Amino acid sequence: MTAASDLAHPIGPHTVEEWRTAEHPDDGSRLELIWGYYHVSPPPGGPHQFASGALYRALWQAVEGNDRLHAVSGVGVEISTAIRTALIPDVALLNTLPTTTSFPASALILAVEVWSPGNSAHERETKVAGYATAGVPYLWTVDLHAIRRTATLRAYELVGGVYRERTPVPLSGDDMRVALPGPVEVSIDLATLVP
């Protein structure tokens, strides 16, 4: 996966500061800033919420009692003022207390994105590049396959400014339980990501 510097893209008119003070939708939609342009995503659907909830619970349990790491869902992250990008990962692991509505990229240790069918390849690549440019150490992405009722989870670690995929480690022979690479030990049964 490439860093944002590898992508040529015109910068739009809006800034991270404008995004921070903008009126965000109150219907569950998400207002993100990508390359200086506002993007409004519809409220996440049931399968999306189900998967992000399972990952949030797994992260919450992994950091319970740790006063340095905090699992949160749906908070804003100010990725970069230079490329005018601010995102709302589905789940985040922060290295600071979650006392505000948005956080600098330096507070983000892990971003989790559950991709919906409406997320274009360009949007996915741009978000991944934004996280890489911001120096976010870990990224997990989830693709939901509604027809097969399965999920594909990919884990990445930032190495030299580029995300390298790290294979989740199977924990037993027959089930879907895996250990996820990241800043803390997290295990999850992939079957719990789909309703």
Between residues 106 and 42, which one has the greater pLDDT? Answer: 106
Count how many domains the chain has.
1
Angle at the Cα of 91 from the Cα atoms of 90 and 95, rounded to 5 degrees: 140
pLDDT of 55 > 70? The answer is yes
Angle at the Cα of 131 from the Cα atoms of 129 and 137, rounded to 5 degrees: 125
Q: Which residues of 60-85 are buried (b: 16+ CB within 10 A; e: fewer)?
A: eebbeeeeebbbbbebbbbbbeebbb
From CA 130, how far away is CA 86, in angstroms rounded? Answer: 9
- Residue 5, pLDDT score: 45
Specify the pTM. Answer: 0.88
CA 158 to chain centroid, in Å, comes to 14
Q: Kindly indicate the confidence band of residue 175, based on its pLDDT and cuts at 50, 70 and 90.
A: low
Q: Are 91 and 73 in contact (CB under 8 A)?
A: yes
- Residue 28, pLDDT score: 84
According to DSSP H, which parts of 43-191 are helical? 46-63, 121-133
CATH code of residue 182:
3.90.1570.10
Residue-number span of the structural domain to which 16 is assigned: 4-193
- Residue 162, pLDDT score: 95
